[in-house]
Amino acid sequence: MSVAATPPKSSTPGGAGGQRSWTIRTREAGVAALPPEKLLPDGQPTYVGSWIYVFGVATLAALMVIVGSGMILSLKGPAWWHYTGVGRFFNSIHLWAVELFFFTTVVHLWGKYWMAAWRGGRARVWITGAVTFLIAIPAALTGYVSQQNFDAQWISTQAKDAMNATGAGAFFNVTNFGQMYSWHILLFPIAVVALVCAHVLLVRRHGVVPPMDLATELAGVVGASPPTHPDGHAIATRPAAPAAEAPLGRPMSQEDEVAS
């Protein structure tokens, strides 16, 4: 592909029609929201200096191990792990990865709660994370009832009462192995992975939440005036970043803060 100094918006002739191109608009919106250096930055703010920060990526890694071991389990079908040592091995990895996933998720969410990580327009980051956790629970449940052993028999015959009481049992039958297995290996993983992607992309877009400003915190004022210096340091201010590099493609204004 040729590299032009100022490439045209559209690579096809008839530029005026190209301006209405959904492809171009999608691409430009995506790149505006997440330019490469924001999608995959090689630096982080210097306040990112605590072990609590690794629990997000640890959760992501645990999810990858779950999906990977799950894929191997599904290669030979749901009964495989009952009668081979290799199958049992991967079933065990799958189970322990699930325990690790929930472990790291909980530590991660505790950390994010105490950091009030929803600040600065990051409510959607919190919401997508919380919903992921909530969706992961029935995802795990469908796995438990798909085991085809006594545990599955017991859990399904018990869980059916809660499902039926809420009316969910009319279309989500925990005693139907075929249905539960399908939800477990396809529908719930898609939902969890999609939510995790949204969560991570939102973090990349908004950046890691800055520390709370101690001056206003000590004064006990919620929503007080911003610190004297935009970067919160009690030293000379850096020039404000160019408008094109601010989150959401425009700089935050006082009106935005007040209106929220």
The interface with another protein within residues 183-202 (CB under 8 A) comprises none
Cβ-based neighbour number of residue 167 at 10 Å: 9
Q: Which of residues 68-127 bind another protein (CB under 8 A)?
A: 69, 81-82, 85-86, 88-89, 91-93, 95-97, 99-100, 102-103, 106-107, 110-111, 113-116, 118-124, 126-127
DSSP 104-132: HHHHHHHHHHHTTTTTTT-HHHHHHHHHH
Minimum distance between the CB of residue 12 and another protein, rounded to whole angstroms? Answer: 12
Exactly one of 79, 137, 187, 190 binds another protein (CB under 8 A); that residue is 137
Closest to 249 in 3D by CA, of 10, 9, 35:
35
Exactly one of 152, 192, 195, 196 binds another protein (CB under 8 A); that residue is 152
Residue 161, interface with another protein (CB under 8 A)?
yes
Minimum distance between the CB of residue 177 and another protein, rounded to whole angstroms? Answer: 5
- Which long-range CB contacts under 8 A does 180-186 form with residues at least 24 apart? 180/142, 180/145, 180/146, 180/156, 181/78, 181/142, 181/146, 183/142, 184/139, 184/142, 184/143, 184/146, 185/70, 185/74
Please, which residue, 17 or 257, has the CB nearer to another protein? Answer: 257
Write the CB contacts of 23 (distance below 8 Å, at least 6 apart in sequence): none
Q: Which of residues 230-259 bind another protein (CB under 8 A)?
A: 230-238, 240-241, 244-248, 251-252, 255-257, 259
Rounded CA-CA distance 69/64 in Å is: 8
Stretch that binds another protein, among 13-21, 130-138, 183-191 (CB under 8 A): 130-138
Contact mark string toward another protein, 7..36, x via CB under 8 A: x-x-x---------------xx--xx--xx
Exactly one of 21, 72, 74, 130 binds another protein (CB under 8 A); that residue is 130
Whether residue 138 contacts residue 188, with contact meaning beta carbons closer than 8 Å, is answered with yes
Whether residue 222 contacts residue 214, with contact meaning beta carbons closer than 8 Å, is answered with no
Q: Which of residues 41-60 bind another protein (CB under 8 A)?
A: 41-55, 57-58, 60
Residue 162 parent element (H or E): helix 150-166
Number of residues that bind another protein (CB under 8 A): 142
